Structure formats: structure tokens, C-alpha cells
Amino acid sequence: MLSLFLLVGLLIVFFEFGVIRYAYKKIGIDRRYVVALLALSLLGSYVNIPIDELPEERVFSNQEIHFFGMRYVIPVVRERPET
């Protein structure tokens, strides 16, 4: 089962690279620039630059609510961090 998932994952990756290569070839960008762009995009995804901090919202904790006929108990919130 694991090998099947890996095979499907590889097929998806090859398909995506083929689609990306075709798209960039149609607009006239060289293949090595596309690979560099993908690599830089992957490396840049590890950097998170915060743009704004949203203040914490009021949280109703330790209460019971009814939603679509089901009863839910909201857990106690110990810390309300900003986003």
C-alpha cells in the first residue's frame, strides 16, 4: 500500500513538473530558470514575515452550546495568544 502511495505521489510530481514546464515553455522562459524559481519558492516558503498582529478576540470558554441539535462543551482557554 505504501509503495502504491509513493508511486501515485511520484506520478503527481512528474505531472506537475510537466505542466509547469509546458506552461513556461509556452510563455518563453527557459527550463533552468523555472527550476531556479521553483527552488527559490520552496526555500522562501520557510520564511514567514509577519505583516500585522490581530488582537485576541473574546472567547467564551467553559460553556455549553447547541449546534445542529448537538451539545458541545467549549473547553477552558488558558492562554489567548495574538495572531
What span, in angstroms and rounded, lies between the C-alpha atoms of 24 and 16? 12
| Contacts for 64 with CB less than 8 Å, ≥ 6 apart | 71, 72, 73, 74
> For strand 70-73 and strand 64-67, is the pairing parallel, antiparallel, or unpaired?
antiparallel
pLDDT of residue 83: 63
Residue 10 banded pLDDT, cuts 50, 70, 90? confident
User: Which residues make beta-bridge pairs with 67?
Assistant: 70
- State pLDDT tens for residues 54-65: 777 666 666 787
Q: Flag whether pLDDT at 68 surpasses 80.
A: yes
pTM to 2 decimal places: 0.37
Predicted confidence band at 71 (pLDDT cuts at 50, 70, 90)?
A: confident
Average pLDDT of the residues in 7-36: 80
Rg of the Cα atoms in the chain: 23
- Domain residue limits, the chain: 1-50
Under 8 Å between Cβ of 61 and 74: yes
